[in-house]
Chains A and B, each alone.
Chain A
């Protein structure tokens, strides 16, 4: 670490030149695409059913949608160099609000969804507020929040629903669960076999991508993550940016909770319980660092796709749960190490030039 700072310092002192371009093969995204193609070929060779539309591809797209959005929720705070350990529980709280609004007030799909998203956003904002006002590490704050919300969610579900899930769903949730665009025809022309939840995830990814690439807000969040002191001195209200990034993280987590509820067919207390690991997997596999200051939305899409392809493939090959976990962990380590190795080689070549 110290070496890097020394080099950086001498370099910037000599000439203010552009950082050397990293060759295309050292780009983690390219590696992910190659890995994806190889794995799909492998799974198809072993089990031709892997390319079966109804059996595999449609549920796979639904799963990717959920975990892509989960990854985006984590990506929002990774841009600051923060973490959101409560990402699953924020999704669960958000889904609870959606279920509650529908169940108690009879609200429709859109109103429930919006109120739930707002609840998620508020929870995120609360985390961001505590972090920015006190300066306490985001890991601790969101971990404590996770603790607190785990308890609260179970209490709320048992007191409101006398069970673990709301008995009813807003109209339209079933369509989100079972239908694909192929079920909707305009004359003779029917849509492709893409589940209805996919557009939600695509829209979320596009919006987050646009936010970080083109909007002032997103760029300032990245600056805050890259160097908070420099950002502060440049007149960026870093505290507000921290609150906003966490609020967006909570809001997107809420969307993930909604999509999972749509896939499962119930607003239940178990939503979000499995979100933590995938939330880090997707962005980190895609080349986003935990250090902050740089994000890759495209990488997150690829990372989420890769993990779900592996899950689905191993599932089809009838691997047991324990082996599934084993291989996911190994693939993660291998992918990260390869990425690191590529980077080191690229740096060495760059240094020789």
Chain B
């Protein structure tokens, strides 16, 4: 039990809970009204999924700069399929997921076959995808697509939005993937030490492709949630997702070097960032301060992690 109390996840959970309670009091209960609470969790869904999307590639020691652009591209593609091609919503949703998976796999294959650093490859594909995203419908907005999908985006169960529950299910699946499946453990092994993984008979190349593919698939999930929850999409979707995609796993304690993941930490960190967002909306603070605060929080969290690691090392050597 004391061991659990010392985990970073517990610290994060405590901070998140404290922040939530303080904010609830500070807004004199306004935060807890059904409408505000629903909105709070509805717009938490995308940051959670996009954070996981980045976390999966961080697990193998890679980065995916194209997550935001890919989310926007998949969202635009899904809307296009429904409005212009006249396909039913479930087909469009599946197509968006498949598109995300496909682009992710291309990222992975490019990294493996060219041996170019993943940062550079995804920087290049990000630019390409941004062009494609704009190419779907130019500067115009898609709206008025499938009523069923939009109803799904607005629906709630027991006061919690369905899209948020979907994000939690996705988080659970990702956690299960890394904790229990062979493929997930292989990803972590490759990320932790490619050399040791290779000696153990694990194909690092396959791990890279799987991680990038999964990251793309999760970007597709984020796209579907965006399409369902927002009611209209245009070519700017995803532009503001790149930095939060890194913020969530990094605050959540995922190392950039690879070899480890923290699904709980990532979800809690996304929750924290959302709290800061809501604080801004509730008190009418200049939104620009929020960037400043989130930047400081990311840095603070990382510093705290380093200090904790040092204390831990000192404790174990003594």
Asked if A333 and B291 sit within 8 Å, CB to CB, the answer is no
Chain B residues within an 8 Å CB radius of A325: 127-128, 130-131, 134
**How far apart are the CA atoms of A337 and B110 in the complex, in Å?**
9
Answer yes or no: B290 CB below 8 A from chain A CBs.
yes
A349 to B126, CA, bound (A): 35
Known pairs A140-B302, A155-B288; A290 contacts B114 (CB<8 A): no
Q: Which of B117-125, B209-217, B224-232 contacts A (4 or more CB under 8 A)?
A: B117-125
Give bound CA distance, A277 to B65, whole Å. Answer: 11
Q: Is the CB of A280 within 8 A of B123?
A: yes
- Nearest chain B CB to A278's CB is how many angstroms away? 11
- By a CB distance below 8 angstroms, the chain B residues around A323 are 131, 135
Report whether A137 and B256 are in contact in the complex, using a CB–CB cutoff of 8 Å.
yes
Contact present for A336 and B116 (CB under 8 Å): yes
Contacts of B294 in A (CB 8 A): 147
A336 and B135 within 8 A (CB): no
Binary flags per residue of B280-318, CB closer than 8 Å to A gives 1, else 0: 000000101111111110110011001000000000000
In the complex, the answer to whether B127 meets A328 with C-beta atoms within 8 Å is yes
Segment of A30-38, A128-136, A162-170, A259-267 in the binding face: A128-136
Q: B295, A146: Cβ atoms under 8 Å?
A: yes
A151 is contacted by which of B119, B246, B295 (Cβ under 8 Å)?
Answer: B295
A321 touches B295 (CB 8 A): no
From the candidates A135, A143, A340, name the one contacting B246 in the complex (CB within 8 A). Answer: A143
Tell whether A332 pairs with B127 under 8 Å between CB atoms, given A140-B298, A146-B295, A326-B132: yes
Chain A residues, CB < 8 A from B292: 147-148, 150-152, 155
Contact at B114–A336, with CB atoms within 8 Å? Answer: yes
Known A-B contacts A141-B302, A337-B116; A326 and B296 likewise in contact (beta carbons under 8 Å)? no
Could you say which residues of chain A place their CB within 8 Å of the CB of B250? 140
When distances are taken between beta carbons in the complex, the residues of chain B under 8 Å from A181 are: none
Chain B residues whose CB sits within 8 angstroms of the CB of A333 once the complex forms: 110, 114, 121, 124-125, 128
B128 and A151 form a contact (CB under 8 A): no
Report if B195 contacts A (CB, 8 A). yes
User: What are the residues of chain B within 8 A of A337 when measuring CB–CB?
Assistant: 114, 116
Is A336's CB under 8 angstroms from B124's CB? yes
Q: Type the 1/0 row for B126-159, where 1 means its CB is closer than 8 Å to any CB of A.
A: 1111111111001000000000000000000000
Cα–Cα, bound, A144→B296 (Å): 7
Which residues of chain A come closer than 8 Å to B135, judged between CB atoms?
Answer: 322-323, 326
Give the distance to chain A from B19, nearest Cβ to Cβ, in Å: 19
Known contacts A148-B295, A336-B114; A322/B198 CB under 8 A = no
For A3, give the chain B residue with the smallest CB separation.
B198
Contacts of B286 in A (CB 8 A): 155, 158
Counting CB contacts under 8 A, is A1 at the interface?
yes
Tell yes or no: B34 within 8 A of A by CB: no
Assembled-state Cα–Cα distance A140/B248 (Å): 12
Query: Which residues on the A side are within 8 Å of B243 (C-beta)?
Result: 143, 146-147
Interchain CA distance A327-B124 in the complex, whole Å:
10
Chain A 111-165 interface residues, beta-carbon cutoff 8 Å to B: 130, 134-137, 139-141, 143-152, 154-155, 158
Interface status of B194 (Cβ within 8 A of chain A): yes
A324 at the interface (CB under 8 A from B): yes
Specify which chain A residues have a CB less than 8 angstroms from the CB of B306 in the assembled complex. Answer: 134-136
A280 CA / B123 CA spacing, docked (Å): 9
| Closest B residue, CB atoms, query A136 | B302
Q: Contact at B116–A140, with CB atoms within 8 Å?
A: no
Hey, which chain A residues are within 8 Å of B204, CB to CB?
1
Query: When chains A and B are docked, how far (Å) is the Cα of A83 from the Cα of B120?
Result: 12
Interface residues of A in 278-309 (CB under 8 A from B): 280, 284, 289-291
B291 and A148 within 8 A (CB): yes
Taking the closest CB of chain A, its distance from the CB of B203, in whole angstroms, is 12
Which A residues touch B126, using CB under 8 A?
A: 329
Interface: A190 (CB within 8 A):
no
Q: A325-B130, A328-B127, A329-B125 are in contact. Are A150 and B299 (CB under 8 A)?
A: no
Residues of A with C-beta under 8 A to B198: 2
Interface check B6, CB cutoff 8 A: no
| A144→B299 contact, CB < 8 A | yes
Shortest CB–CB separation between residue B3 and chain A, in angstroms? 25
CA–CA, A155 and B287, complex, Å: 9
Known A2-B195, A322-B131, A333-B110: A151·B117 in contact at CB below 8 Å:
no
In the bound complex, residues from chain A placing their C-beta under 8 Å from that of B180 are: none
CB-CB nearest in chain A for B307 = A134
Shortest Cβ gap from B18 to chain A (Å)? 22
Closest Cβ of chain A: how far from B111's Cβ, in Å?
11
Identify which of residues 70-107 in chain A touch chain B, using a CB-to-CB cut-off of 8 Å.
83
> What distance in Å separates the Cβ of B103 from its nearest Cβ neighbour in chain A?
12
- Nearest neighbor of A139 in chain B, beta-carbon distance: B256
User: Complex Cα distance A256/B64, Å?
Assistant: 27
Q: Does A330 contact B (CB under 8 A)?
A: yes
Contact B194 A2 (CB under 8 A): yes
Q: B179-207 interface mask toward A, CB cutoff 8 Å, 1 = contact, 0 = none?
A: 00000000000000011001000001000
Which partner residue on chain A sits nearest B195 by CB separation?
A2
Given contacts A135-B306, A148-B296, 11 further A-B contacts (CB under 8 A): A130-B303, A144-B298, A151-B288, A152-B288, A155-B286, A155-B289, A322-B138, A326-B127, A329-B128, A333-B128, A336-B116
A interface list, Cβ under 8 A from B: 1-2, 5, 83, 130, 134-137, 139-141, 143-152, 154-155, 158, 277, 280, 284, 289-291, 320-330, 332-333, 336-337, 340
- Listed from nearest, the 8 A-B pairs whose CB atoms lie closest are A148-B295, A147-B295, A326-B131, A151-B291, A322-B134, A151-B292, A329-B128, A329-B127
| A-B contact list, 12 entries, CB within 8 Å | A1-B204, A2-B194, A2-B198, A130-B303, A144-B295, A144-B302, A147-B247, A151-B290, A151-B295, A158-B286, A321-B134, A333-B110
